[in-house]
Structure 1
């Protein structure tokens, strides 16, 4: 159902910490103009856990207005199943095209609990679901066997594979064939995942460098692997910024430098400072200075 480049977009704030819908509209528009295949709001990069459920729906509405016919997914990442089901219902009522669901990020569920949690959320929202499997950040591993156990519910349509083990993409495909769309969720494993059969990329640095991200995907689809790899090699130092405790601050700084956006974050986060900021800024500026020329590619409307 979902494939290609789906940015996990950032949430923009004004100086008073309220939502900056005008800036989000501008930034989301840059993604759509570059040819992305959909948007995902209120994820980890979107500071979803720092937003109220009502704010998440407001961000969704702004994204949907920018996305037009392209799908917009709302992230569900709640400590309790009750709260997650409530969020899923609100997203459905607002017209969301689907959900990206994180198993409980606070209590580290076992396989039985994870299955029950995911089934309850899917039933509550009654929308297509992308399961976010990220054992590194959330300590809950949605294994290929668990995916097989959930396969009888047609609402589960896709996996955001973020185990940080490139072998997992092949394991899912070997175990389940094409039952699920498998999208990589680790920026600095994207080329590798696409090379072994991933059908898309839930991307982070795309929010600052949309054209380069889309170019890698489209070149891979066209069989122009060497051209895609050349861009990816240039991109790698930037993509490493996504695999960090400070990914939100890192990527918002990239947006500030590359697309002239803001880097405001919601507390307890603070913008980068000191030596850490200097190093991240060095990486971003070096990439901007050596930005590659992109081949001519058709971008689907």
Structure 2
């Protein structure tokens, strides 16, 4: 459950802003058909903060239907601990396989507050937890020292490592051994992280290019690093689109061009326009024109 390629999927909307469950079902199924190992819903890429808790639970249900028994994790990223605990409990009741938990994205907790928040959410959900460590986006660094303090609670099982420092993967493993499954959460550091011990990839561009994402992970597992690197180098300009304030719009445009999906987003976001749209579209179209042939053993 805590390894392989796990897409952080986008949430699909109709033109009038309602949840588009049919399109989500179609897109989520493409991830499963490509060999992904689970789904994570309602994260940053999934526009979770723009959704009500009831909407997030509805997205969870759709993902569970598409996943065909593979794990589906709910992202918990709430301003207040009370609200985070409430969502964790609701997700558990709805049958989520686990939680991916962010400390408050609004208030920048100190170490003691970070530990207390994560413990409270884990207790409320009583599910396996992946700690989302993203000091760049959320200004809270869940350090190896914090991870060590939380290690006594068996519900904490994995780390989504998104510090944007490739040294951190090795630091976690050196400090804590195999206590946590370490998954990389930065698309354009994935090859590097997987090469030094990360066991999985919480991926973003996978939603538009699932086969290539899965191929990189599988090739590395098979010891075929040179072949994986060739695909990764082709993929890299696309993967850079994940590391942006506009990652949601970037990746939804990539989905529109690569798999015929939609670009509808929740306000205050707006679809890309003008020079920024032209730049992203050129990157995606160039990649599609040069798409590598995949030769991969199961």
Q: Tell me which interval the TM-score lies in, with the shorter structure as reference length.
A: over 0.9
Counterpart CA distance in 1 for 2:138 and 2:28 is 27
Q: CA deviation at 1:69?
A: 1.7
Counterpart CA distance in 2 for 1:102 and 1:253 is 26
| 4+ runs deviating over 2 angstroms | none
Q: CA deviation at 1:296?
A: 3.0
Per-residue CA shift, 1:200-250, capped at 9, x if unaligned?
000000000000000000000000000000000000000000000000000
1:23 corresponds to 2:23: yes
Counterpart CA distance in 2 for 1:259 and 1:68 is 21
Contact 1:184 1:190 in 2 (8 A): yes
Counterpart CA distance in 2 for 1:230 and 1:259 is 23
Counterpart CA distance in 2 for 1:95 and 1:70 is 12
Match runs of 1:178-257 below 5 Å? 178-257=178-257
Which segments of 5 or more consecutive residues in structure 2 lack a partner in the other structure?
Answer: none
Query: 1:151 — aligned with what?
Result: 151
Counterpart CA distance in 1 for 2:296 and 2:15 is 39
Normalised by the length of structure 2, the TM-score is: 1.00
1:105 corresponds to 2:105: yes
Per-residue CA shift, 1:236-295, capped at 9, x if unaligned?
000000000000000000000000000000000000000000000000000000000001
Counterpart CA distance in 1 for 2:281 and 2:16 is 25
Query: 2:52 — aligned with what?
Result: 52
How many residue pairs end up in the alignment? 298
Which segments of 5 or more consecutive residues in structure 1 lack a partner in the other structure?
Answer: none
Contact 2:219 2:296 in 1 (8 A): no
Counterpart CA distance in 2 for 1:47 and 1:296 is 33
Query: 2:78 — aligned with what?
Result: 78
Contact 1:39 1:73 in 2 (8 A): yes
The RMSD of aligned alpha carbons is 0.4
